[in-house]
Structure 1
């Protein structure tokens, strides 16, 4: 049963995810092959770039190449840092609970130490990173996180509490300084808000891919070392690689371009930004969803293990934590792929908003709901909360497992979506500092929930019911509070203005404003000659 449920799910999700991730590359290769074959059979020379694209298209292609180059530069460092953290995640609770045999209260207090340290340090690390450099802060993260990982080699509670405190500081840095460095560099290169949304989708997919490998490598490390301390030691080696790449590949970043004449914002000026309702909405949404997400990470091993023992008896072996975590991350990748597809569609609609075969005014409300990022985030938050209720209140192993899978799919949509909104709403000056302040309610949420932890399945149900209530409020905050935060397509006032916006030259305006068309547009006529339709004008322009 344990192999059939978890390993088979992993082996089904893995090829599906890989196929969807490589679909665009395969389609591009197929189009290139067919184009070459067509030119070969027709004996026509390939079109010149100056003949087929406009200056604006050339600019967009250049920016796309710059964005891809920057993605590689950032991700090859970021993923090593994240992989070290992913290695430890699935094994922290089993290490403390099963191998060290600590009671539930002690395990919860160790987790609380992490989040208390993260809450306190979030008030400082962002502002220090903006002052002394975000690359230096990333290097400091590698050192602090490595010391935290090495602390599990001792069973002494004092050492473990100190290690968890260092882990909390590293956690606050991991969620602020890396993303802050990336967003500022992105804006310095002027790569565009729509590409930024796609970038966050790519980050989430790559991050989840690293988590999948981390889960499998962690499981292998446990098998080889015979202890759950193995993944923590491997994580230290990965941190060293990330630090070396940071030194070689990244430039320093203080929150503003080097040639900027504006002064860096003081902490007091940064606090004034908290008057923006969208900052409050993002903070509340992040508090509810990400706090719930960490409670899921704390509770899911125990919930699945209890459900497994109901079927196989109290002496049943442990569920495979690494493969389960890898399956969760694959589901998260599929969610991030969906978000990236929506953002690409939104970008193409902003660039070419008119379909000549369909009236642009006839847009389905359902389509609008799923293509606006704030509406989409509100929908997935509500669905994810329902999945948690199902997993907590239906103590059946298969249903609980697939409920968590669907929750992680929603998480894959949420993560790039909220990062996209943060990149647009938060100003550049002291971005890392404000990110840290926005994380503070999330840490307090987890601390309060862990403070009530007891070893009782009914307590878990109560916690998830409370989480569902907060997620309903977060869903409303996303739909209402974030309205208008992302760039929307502008609706032209009339059909004539729509056609004008499609033109990139004066010839089209001259064709539209001939005496015949002006007369037919201004005065009624009884002429039997059929007027030129908008679709014919468009096709004429394209030809």
Structure 2
């Protein structure tokens, strides 16, 4: 009966959100041409399929490795392999996307992530490690190539810059909101209700990725960096590094993104043992879906904030970083206040776990605000000709931070790991303040009214 209750909850959330989006869509059609609406809807459809392929795996990555009998230390090494792969090869594939095309990069994402899903059928550690290698490359492509394709295609077709903000918000609302909720419910249904085992969500993810790949192949046009024809991959990487080094706005933006996402991806690994430290039987898919509801709420808030002409993300994002730091500090506070866990293996989630869960929901709401706001700032400051390369440069320190945390996860208590994430977010808040000060005045206002720099 619990599965049906959560399914009804998910359907209700989706229905309410759909009605809200329909109202917003009716208002938008008055000011936006049908050609843009069709272009945006095609992108949102593809992006939703791609995110479904990613989100379906999220709730059961850690659980699958546990199912195969691996320890926390062994699982940490698998996660490190994925983030290390993204760190080492991400910048190269980003530069190749700028040179050889973002559509080709999107198709490469589909192929590599499907390969990663297939490896989950083997319990052999080396095969799982290979899967993490493919998954790391795919993750770099997912969070750079699709956004780069959208920004370039949007301005190539002559659409208004402010319309891009709405596309960003809707993409996060769908991809990080509705799709993630459905994915969490579907993953839980396949594993728990259908009793198909923890590998089933990965098979479902491969199906969505394959469908999305076909749509991209036959409907997307290709776009590249402006200097792609005459620039080698190495030169593109050098140009991206120069753009970061010469423009403090790009540097601060990349540093904040790295710090926030380092905390976010560490959280992906840490939330399962945090809520079930004694082996409690927690409903992974249901908790995951609830977190994504919070993320969806955050993206809706971001959409409303960004639609106001007098509100800049450079200003309100400092509050987002501080709230995120406070939410992830709760596991640290519960330990320091001596809240002992009275849980036991196979038992329900404890009171301590419920308190932490509330904090995690706040953090996910901040994630929902973070993504579209960061996308808007990147579209203004990151050079178009090396957009994918610069964005992947941002991911190098991100992956390095996460690898350090995961490498030491067996040596330090969870509270220490969450303390590190909290510190990252506080530093991001300080950098955001510097960016706000740097972008105040008429120079910013003039740049904000333009397309990509």
**TM value normalised by structure 2:** 0.86
Q: Is 2:191 the counterpart of 1:222?
A: yes
Q: Which residue of 1 aligns with 2:327?
A: 387
SS in 1 for 2:225: coil
Count of residues paired in the alignment: 423
Contact 1:264 1:429 in 2 (8 A): no
Alignment partner, residue 372 of structure 2? 416
- Structure 2 CA distance, aligned partners of 1:184 and 1:414? 22
Counterpart CA distance in 2 for 1:195 and 1:486 is: 23
In 2: Cα distance, 1:428 partner to 1:245 partner: 25
Rounded Cα–Cα distance in structure 1 between residues aligned with 2:69 and 2:441: 52
| Greater RCO structure (CA 8 Å; 6+ sep) | 2
Aligned to 1:299: 270
Task: Look up the SS of the partner of 2:91 in the other structure.
Answer: coil
Contact 1:424 1:486 in 2 (8 A): no
Point out the more displaced range, 161-170 or 395-404.
395-404
| Aligned-partner Cα distance in 2 for 1:262–1:482 | 36
Task: Check if 1:250 corresponds to 2:250.
Answer: no
CA distance in 1, matches of 2:131, 2:431: 36
Q: Could you report, residue by residue, the CA deviation over 1:381-400 in whole angstroms, capped at 9, with x for unpaired residues?
A: 11011011114432512211
**Which runs of no fewer than 5 residues in structure 1 stay unpaired?**
32-56, 350-370, 492-543
Listed one character per residue, the Cα deviations across residues 236-257 of structure 1 (whole Å, up to 9, x for unaligned) are 111110111111110111134x
User: Measured at CA, do residues 12 and 483 of structure 1 come closer, stay the same or move farther in structure 2, by a change above 3 Å?
Assistant: farther
Distance in 1, matches of 2:444 and 2:360, equals 39
Q: For the residues of structure 1 that align with 2:111 and 2:25, how far apart are their CA atoms?
A: 42
Identify the residue that residue 512 of structure 1 maps to in structure 2. Answer: none
CA contact (8 A) 1:21 1:337 kept: no
Distance across 2 between alignment mates of 1:467 and 1:190: 41
C-alpha RMSD over aligned residues: 2.9
CA drift of 1:271 comes to: 2.4
Contact 2:330 2:356 in 1 (8 A): yes
Q: Tell me: CA distance 1:486–1:231, structure 2 relative to 1, closer, same or farther (3 Å).
A: farther
Check the 8 A contact 2:405/2:417 in 1, yes or no: yes
Which among 385, 407, 417 is matched to residue 363 of structure 2? 407
Query: Structure 2 CA distance, aligned partners of 1:110 and 1:225?
Result: 25
Match of 2:138 in 1: 170
Instruction: Say if 1:148 and 1:163, in contact at 8 Å, map to a contact too.
Output: yes
Rounded to whole Å, the distance in 2 between the matches of 1:479 and 1:12 is 39
Matched ranges for 1:472-487 at <5 A = 472-483=426-437, 485=439
- Partner residue in 1 for 2:348: none
Q: In structure 1, what is the equivalent of residue 389 of structure 2?
A: 433
Q: 2:421 aligns with which of 447, 467, 481?
A: 467
Is the Cα–Cα contact under 8 Å of residues 264 and 430 in structure 1 kept in the other structure? no
Choose from 209, 213, 218 the match for 1:239.
Answer: 209
Quote the residue 2:80 is aligned against: 112
Between Structure 1 and Structure 2, whose CA radius of gyration is higher? 1
- From 124, 145, 159, the equivalent of 1:156 is 124
Shift in Å at residue 291 of structure 1? Answer: 0.5
Q: 1:91 aligns with which of 60, 65, 68?
A: 60
